[in-house]
């Protein structure tokens, strides 16, 4: 809500600035009519009087608006960093593109015996702010194509994408009618709560078997999630609510998204590998994400120090575990206590991690780290940050950017 108000305010200011500039440009014919004086002699000698003046004013206004837009994105707009599968962990050589390198690795990969590719649990489908009332989104998750839509009642629903009638994709051209989604081919309407067809425009009676699969879903912590169980069982546990997000005390400040060629098990296993932190994540974030250069002597003046403790949780939360992380920063060998940061990483099932930040000066917030299988060996790894509304957006955006760099270190290693 806060981001929407800021965006609206910026748009109003931009429209007002354009209007005032246009008015000024139309009026600038001769300053005699505006200010009671003539053009400065220098203007007349250099040809800036009349039409050139209007052109100069247009250029100035354009540069000013571009600068204002850049400043707004820097200071107020959420950070959005989205990376495709060919942008993570591949080095293009011999004239090949990174996409070609990624595809070649996927073709040559030997899978062998695999652990379950879709473990039982809750998985993020998309962030709530991306689904407005009446919107329909097409998403691939857990090897299935699904249609995610928000009914006119404001509730989010997830159903199989393909209409059982003739196989039309409900997410491509389908529209929301009340709490139902309407097929774009013949207008069949399927209820979001249970997937049952409730209306066929050209039929008086709807067959009982006319229905689409409805996925168990929930909307919590600013995200829409679905439940998966290999035997089709109902959810046996719930994703905990972060009350600060629900109350609006922590607001959305950005997200990152990476598509990774890996088995889902590799990602939480990497996080639980405490030993790698001191070696891989000691170089400063200014050294970049390319592991060939992160240990360059150029960046040795800035180092990260990590202290980590990992522990499982008892019943009834055996699907959860916690990692307590203490971070310190040294610059030219000197410890800077102001930048010390405590993080509690709570793994909830295979697909959701709460990264809770607390700092004496920079405030509190959470990064929702989610891993969602797209297909057996392709994962969507997302990080969505919510932070105290009283803290300037630059702070959480910097934290998210730093987290993204550390994540890229891990992904380039895998």
The two structure tokens encoding residue 296: 């360059």
pTM of the entire predicted model:
0.79
Distance, in Å, from the CA atom of 158 to the CA atom of 276, rounded to the nearest integer, reads 38
Distance, in Å, from the CA atom of 8 to the CA atom of 299, rounded to the nearest integer, reads 41
Phi and psi dihedrals of 166, rounded to 5? -130, 15
Q: Is the peptide bond before 316 cis (omega within 30 degrees of 0)?
A: yes
The strand ranges marked E within 45-96 are 79-83
Closest CA to 150 of 180, 123, 172: 180
Distance, in Å, from the CA atom of 408 to the CA atom of 259, rounded to the nearest integer, reads 11
Residue tagged 């090949």 (tokens): 96
Sheet of 121-127, strands arranged across: 121-127, 223-228, 217-220
The neighbour count for residue 22, using CB atoms within 10 Å, is: 13
In tens digits, what is the pLDDT along the chain, a chain of 414 residues? Answer: 444 455 555 555 655 665 565 555 444 444 444 444 555 555 555 555 555 666 767 787 788 888 888 787 777 788 888 887 766 666 666 667 767 777 777 777 777 788 889 999 999 999 999 999 999 999 999 999 999 999 999 999 999 999 999 999 999 999 999 999 999 999 999 999 999 999 999 999 999 999 999 999 999 999 999 999 999 999 999 999 999 999 999 999 999 999 988 899 988 887 777 666 666 666 655 555 555 555 666 666 677 777 878 888 888 888 888 888 887 878 887 887 777 888 888 999 999 999 998 887 888 999 999 999 999 989 999 999 999 999 999 989 988 888 877 766 555 555
The strand ranges marked E within 87-154 are 121-127, 136-141, 144-150
Distance, in Å, from the CA atom of 35 to the CA atom of 58, rounded to the nearest integer, reads 20
Closest CA to 375 of 216, 144, 90: 144
DSSP 257-275: EEEE-S-TTHHHHHHH-TH
b/e per residue, 337-367, with b = 16+ CB within 10 A? eeeebebebbbbbbbbbbbbbebeebbebbb
Distance, in Å, from the CA atom of 73 to the CA atom of 68, rounded to the nearest integer, reads 9
Distance, in Å, from the CA atom of 39 to the CA atom of 369, rounded to the nearest integer, reads 61
| Cβ pair 244, 250 in contact under 8 A | yes
The neighbour count for residue 174, using CB atoms within 10 Å, is: 25
DSSP 326-337: EEEEEETTEE-G
Domains annotated on the chain, with CATH: 1-76 (no CATH), 80-108+243-413 (3.30.530.20), 121-228 (2.102.10.10)
């Amino acid at each position: 809500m806060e981001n929407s108000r800021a965006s609206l305010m910026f748009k109003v200011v931009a429209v007002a600035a354009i209007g005032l500039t246009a008015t000024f440009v139309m009026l600038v014919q001769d300053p005699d009519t505006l200010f009671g004086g003539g053009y400065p002699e220098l203007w007349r000698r250099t040809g800036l009087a009349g039409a050139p003046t209007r052109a100069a004013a247009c250029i100035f206004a354009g540069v000013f608006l571009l600068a204002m837009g850049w400043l707004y994105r820097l200071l107020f707009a959420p950070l959005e960093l989205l990376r495709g599968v060919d942008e993570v962990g591949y080095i293009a050589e011999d004239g090949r593109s990174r996409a070609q390198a990624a595809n070649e690795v996927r073709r040559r990969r030997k899978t062998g015996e695999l652990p379950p590719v879709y473990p039982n649990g809750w998985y993020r489908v998309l962030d709530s702010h991306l689904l407005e009332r009446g919107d329909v989104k097409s998403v691939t998750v857990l090897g299935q194509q699904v249609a995610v839509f928000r009914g006119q009642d404001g509730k989010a629903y997830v159903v199989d994408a393909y209409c059982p009638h003739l196989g039309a994709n409900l997410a491509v051209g389908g529209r929301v009618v009340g709490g139902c989604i309407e097929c774009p081919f013949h207008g069949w309407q399927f209820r979001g709560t249970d997937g049952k067809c409730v209306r066929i425009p050209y039929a008086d009676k709807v067959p009982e078997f006319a229905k689409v699969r409805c996925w168990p879903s929930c909307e919590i912590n600013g995200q829409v999630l679905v439940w998966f169980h290999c035997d089709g069982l109902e959810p046996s546990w719930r994703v905990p609510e972060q009350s600060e997000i629900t109350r609006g005390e922590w607001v959305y400040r950005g997200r990152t998204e990476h598509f990774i060629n890996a088995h889902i098990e590799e990602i939480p296993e990497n996080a639980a590998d405490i030993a790698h932190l001191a070696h891989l994540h000691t170089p400063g974030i200014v050294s970049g994400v390319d592991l060939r250069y992160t240990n360059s002597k150029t960046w040795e003046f800035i180092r990260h120090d990590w202290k980590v403790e990992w522990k499982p949780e008892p019943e009834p939360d055996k699907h959860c575990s916690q990692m307590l992380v203490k971070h310190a920063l040294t610059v030219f060998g000197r410890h800077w206590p102001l930048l010390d940061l405590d993080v509690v990483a709570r793994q909830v099932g295979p697909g959701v991690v709460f990264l809770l930040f607390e700092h004496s000066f920079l405030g509190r917030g959470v990064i929702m780290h989610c891993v969602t299988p797209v297909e057996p060996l392709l994962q969507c790894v997302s990080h969505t940050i919510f932070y105290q509304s009283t803290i300037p957006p630059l702070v959480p955006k910097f934290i998210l950017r730093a987290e993204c760099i550390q994540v890229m270190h891990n992904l380039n290693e895998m």
